C-alpha cells in the first residue's frame, strides 16, 4: 500500500518505519526542513530502541522516503496518516488543533482517487467531522473518508509496540474505509484485537484510556504517601494489589508524578471537553491537581535533605520523562529541576539518552556530567528522577567515596535500600518509611 504520513515525530517516524518494514511504500512528510534534511542524510532524529537499525534497512531498500512536500507524498497515496502534534492550548489547555487543521487543509488539494485520511494524532471528539469539512471545502471533488486510528504506543517501546500492538482501534464510518485499514493491518490479523467502532467512540477511547492510566498513577502515588506515614511498604502493597486481575499489575509504580507528551496534555484536554459538555469529571481533575503538587513535593523533599548544608550540590540522575527515551516533554524530572533552580540550587545532571534534549531546554542553568559517577562528584545529595535501568547498578561504595555527603532521594525506588544503608547513606524512597537503620540492618543480617 502507498502510505503518506504527515508529521515525522515520536509517532510518525516509528509508524512510518514500521509500515515500511511490513512492505508498504511510505512517504514521511514534515514541515521541519532540518528534520527532513537529517533523515535524508541518514541521521535518525529521535531515540527509540531498535528504530535506527530498521530506519537504515528500509531507507536502503527504498521503501521509505522523507520530504517537506505535501504534493510528493499525497498525490499517490492510498492512505494518508496524520501524526502531527496536538499540544495543550497555552490558555485554555484544550488540545490545540492548529497543526491538525493546517495539515488537513494543506493535504486536501493533492488528493487523487479514493483516499483514506486517518488521524493518529490524539484529537478531541468530533475532529473527524472537522477534518472532513476542511478537506471538502478546499477540494469539493475529493473522494475520501476520514478515519480515527488512535495511537497507543509507549515511548521507549515504540518499535516493539508497533509490531506487538495490544489493540488496534479503528473509528470508521464507511465499509470502504474499514477495508483499507484492514488491509494495512493484515499482518496482525489473528494476533491482536482489532476493534471497529464509530469514529467518535474511537476518538474518545484514546482520551478515556490515557486519563484512566494517569488516574491510576496518581492513585498509587497517593497510596505511597499513605504508606510513608503508616509504615506500610508501597512495593508490597502494589504487589498485593496487582495480583488481582481486575486491577492488573501495571502502572502501579509510585514515583515523582506522571509526565511525557501525552498524559498531562490529554488529561487537561479531557477535562476541558467534559466542561464544554457540562459533564463533571472529578477524578481527572483531582489527578491533574495532585500530579502538579507532587512534583513540587519531590523538589521540597530533595531540598529538605540538604537544608543544613550551605550551598549544597545536587546530583540529578535522569532527565527524560521515563526510561528508554530522549523525550523531556512535561518530564517530572525537568519540572523538579526547574523547581530546584527557583531555589538557586547548584545542579549537575546525567541522563543516558536525554542530555541533548535537556541541554536545549536548560542551557547553562545546570552542569552536565558524562556518566553517573562524574555526576556524583562532590554532591551533597543524589536525586534519582528517571527509572533508567543503568542507575540500578550504581556501585554505592564508589558513589559514597565520590560524594561529599552520603544522601539519596530515590524518587523511583530504584536502589537497594539495605545496600544504601549498609554503605552509610541516608536514604529516602517513595512510599517507604525508613525509621530505624540499625533495626533494618539487623533484620537483613
Ligand atoms: P511530535 O511533536 O514529536 O511530532 C509532530 C511532527 O509534526 C513534528 O515533526 C512537526 O514538525 C510536524 N508537523 C506539524 N504540523 C505539520 C504539517 N502541517 N505538515 C507536516 N508536518 C507537520 O509529536 P508526537 O509525539 O509524534 O505526537 C503526535 C500526535 O500523536 C499527538 O497528537 C500525540 O498526542 C499523539 N500521540 C503521541 C504519542 C507519544 O508517545 N509521543 C503516543 C500516542 C499518541
Catalytic residue among 28, 227, 262, 411: 262
**What number is the average pLDDT over the span 329-354?**
97
Q: Name the 3-class secondary structure at 362.
A: helix
Partners of 229 in the β-ladder: none
Element of type H or E holding 275: helix 263-276
**What number is the average pLDDT over the span 71-91?**
97
**What number is the average pLDDT over the span 94-119?**
98
Instruction: Say how many Å lie between the CA of residue 9 and the centre of ligand 1.
Output: 5
Instruction: Say how many Å lie between the CA of residue 106 and the centre of ligand 1.
Output: 16
**What number is the average pLDDT over the span 200-213?**
98
The neighbour count for residue 158, using CB atoms within 10 Å, is 25
142 neighbors 105 (Cβ within 8 angstroms): no
26 neighbors 64 (Cβ within 8 angstroms): yes
Average pLDDT, the chain: 96
What is the share, in percent, of the chain residues with pLDDT greater than 90? 97
**What number is the average pLDDT over the span 75-93?**
96
385 neighbors 318 (Cβ within 8 angstroms): yes
Substitution candidate for ligand 1 out of 69, 83, 148, 327 with most atoms within 8 A of CB? 83
pLDDT of 437 above 90: no
Instruction: Say how many Å lie between the CA of residue 121 and the centre of ligand 1.
Output: 7
151 neighbors 181 (Cβ within 8 angstroms): no
**Which grid cell sits at 240?**
498485593
CA-closest residue to ligand 1 atom 4: 9
Interatomic CA distance for residues 368 and 373, integer angstroms: 12
* pLDDT at site 434: 81
96 neighbors 87 (Cβ within 8 angstroms): yes
**What number is the average pLDDT over the span 274-281?**
97
Instruction: Say how many Å lie between the CA of residue 10 and the centre of ligand 1.
Output: 7
Instruction: Say how many Å lie between the CA of residue 261 and the centre of ligand 1.
Output: 10
The tally of CA atoms less than 13 A away on the side-chain side of residue 420 is: 23
Ligand 1 atom closest to residue 266's alpha carbon, by position in its atom list: 34
Instruction: Say how many Å lie between the CA of residue 84 and the centre of ligand 1.
Output: 3
Interatomic CA distance for residues 72 and 68, integer angstroms: 8
Substitution candidate for ligand 1 out of 10, 107, 117, 259 with most atoms within 8 A of CB? 10
Pick from 112-116, 182-186, 203-207, 438-442: least confident: 438-442
380 neighbors 345 (Cβ within 8 angstroms): no
- Enter the DSSP assignment of 350: E
Instruction: Give me the domains of the chain, ranges plus CATH numbers.
Output: 2-197 (3.40.50.720), 207-445 (3.40.50.720)
CA-closest residue to ligand 1 atom 6: 7
CA-closest residue to ligand 1 atom 1: 9
CA-closest residue to ligand 1 atom 43: 151
Instruction: Say how many Å lie between the CA of residue 33 and the centre of ligand 1.
Output: 15
Q: What is the pLDDT of residues 110-131, one digit of tens each?
A: 999 999 999 999 999 999 999 9
**What number is the average pLDDT over the span 17-46?**
98
pLDDT of 439 above 90: no
Query: Predicted confidence band at 435 (pLDDT cuts at 50, 70, 90)?
Result: low
Strands (E), 393-437: 407-410, 426-428
- In this structure, the residues whose C-beta lies within 6 A of any atom of ligand 1 are 6-12, 29-32, 35, 83-86, 99, 102-103, 106, 120-122, 151, 153, 155, 261-262
1 CB-contact burial (10 Å; exposed 0-12 / middle 13-18 / buried 19+): middle
Ligand 1 atom closest to residue 12's alpha carbon, by position in its atom list: 26
The neighbour count for residue 93, using CB atoms within 10 Å, is 17
* pLDDT at site 431: 98
Substitution candidate for ligand 1 out of 16, 46, 84 with most atoms within 8 A of CB? 84
Interatomic CA distance for residues 322 and 337, integer angstroms: 15
* pLDDT at site 433: 87
pLDDT of 305 above 90: yes
**What number is the average pLDDT over the span 262-275?**
97
Ligand 1 atom closest to residue 10's alpha carbon, by position in its atom list: 26
CA 157 to each of CA 13, 212, 348, 364: distance values in angstroms, whole numbers, following the listed order: 13, 20, 28, 31
- Residue 328 designated active-site: no
* pLDDT at site 378: 98
pLDDT of 367 above 60: yes
What is the share, in percent, of the chain residues with pLDDT greater than 70? 98
**Which grid cell sits at 45?**
532524529
Substitution candidate for ligand 1 out of 9, 49, 69, 259 with most atoms within 8 A of CB? 9
**Which grid cell sits at 44?**
535518525
Rounded (10°) angle between helices 355-362 and 332-342: 40
CA-closest residue to ligand 1 atom 17: 103
Query: Predicted confidence band at 289 (pLDDT cuts at 50, 70, 90)?
Result: very high
Amino acid at each position: 500500500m502507498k502510505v503518506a504520513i504527515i508529521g515525522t515525530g515520536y509517532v510518525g517516524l516509528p509508524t512510518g518505519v514500521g509500515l515500511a518494514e511490513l512492505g508498504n511504500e511510505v512517504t514521511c512528510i514534515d514541515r521541519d526542513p532540518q528534520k527532513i534534511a537529517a533523515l535524508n542524510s541518514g541521521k535518525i532524529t529521535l531515540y527509540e530502541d531498535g528504530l535506527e537499525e530498521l530506519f537504515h534497512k528500509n531507507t536502503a531498500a527504498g521503501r521509505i522516503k522523507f520530504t517537506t512536500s505535501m504534493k510528493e507524498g499525497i498525490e499517490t497515496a492510498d492512505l494518508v496518516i496524520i501524526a502531527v502534534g496536538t499540544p495543550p492550548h497555552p490558555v485554555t489547555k484544550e488540545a490545540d488543533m492548529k497543526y491538525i487543521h493546517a495539515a488537513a487543509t494543506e493535504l486536501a488539494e493533492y488528493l487523487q482517487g479514493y483516499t483514506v485520511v486517518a488521524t493518529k494524532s490524539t484529537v478531541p471528539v468530533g475532529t473527524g467531522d472537522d477534518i472532513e469539512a476542511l478537506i471538502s471545502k478546499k477540494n469539493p471533488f475529493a473522494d475520501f473518508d476520514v478515519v480515527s486510528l488512535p495511537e497507543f504506543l509507549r515511548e521507549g517501546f515504540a518499535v516493539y509496540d508497533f509490531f506487538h500492538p495490544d489493540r488496534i482501534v479503528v473509528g470508521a464510518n464507511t465499509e470502504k474505509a474499514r477495508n483499507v485499514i484492514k488491509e494495512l493491518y493484515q499482518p496482525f490479523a489473528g494476533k491482536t484485537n482489532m476493534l471497529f467502532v464509530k469514529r467518535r467512540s474511537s476518538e474518545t477511547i484514546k482520551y478515556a484510556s490515557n486519563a484512566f492510566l494517569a488516574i491510576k498513577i496518581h492513585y498509587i502515588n497517593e497510596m505511597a504517601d499513605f504508606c510513608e506515614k503508616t509504615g506500610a511498604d508501597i512495593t508490597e502493597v502494589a504487589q498485593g494489589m496487582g495480583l488481582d486481575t481486575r486491577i492488573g499489575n501495571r502502572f502501579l509504580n509510585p514515583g515523582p508524578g506522571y509526565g511525557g507528551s501525552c498524559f498531562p496534555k490529554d488529561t487537561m484536554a479531557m477535562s476541558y471537553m467534559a466542561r464544554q459538555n457540562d459533564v463533571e469529571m472529578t477524578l481527572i481533575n483531582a489527578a491533574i491537581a495532585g500530579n502538579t503538587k507532587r512534583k513540587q513535593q519531590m523538589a521540597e523533599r530533595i531540598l529538605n535533605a540538604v537544608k543544613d548544608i550551605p550551598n549544597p550540590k545536587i546530583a540529578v540522575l535522569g532527565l527524560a520523562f521515563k526510561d528508554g527515551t530522549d523525550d523531556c516533554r512535561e518530564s517530572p524530572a525537568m519540572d523538579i529541576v526547574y523547581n530546584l533552580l527557583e531555589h538557586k540550587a547548584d545542579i549537575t545532571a546525567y541522563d543516558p539518552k536525554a542530555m541533548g534534549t535537556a541541554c536545549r531546554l536548560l542551557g547553562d542553568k545546570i552542569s552536565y556530567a558524562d556518566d553517573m559517577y562524574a555526576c556524583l562528584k562532590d554532591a551533597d545529595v543524589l536525586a534519582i528522577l528517571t527509572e533508567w535501568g543503568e542507575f540500578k547498578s550504581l556501585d554505592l561504595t564508589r558513589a559514597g567515596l565520590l560524594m561529599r555527603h552520603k544522601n539519596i532521594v530515590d524518587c523511583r525506588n530504584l536502589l537497594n535500600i539495605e545496600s544504601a544503608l549498609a554503605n552509610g547513606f541516608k536514604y529516602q524512597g517513595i512510599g517507604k518509611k525508613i525509621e530505624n537503620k540499625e533495626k533494618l540492618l539487623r533484620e537483613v543480617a
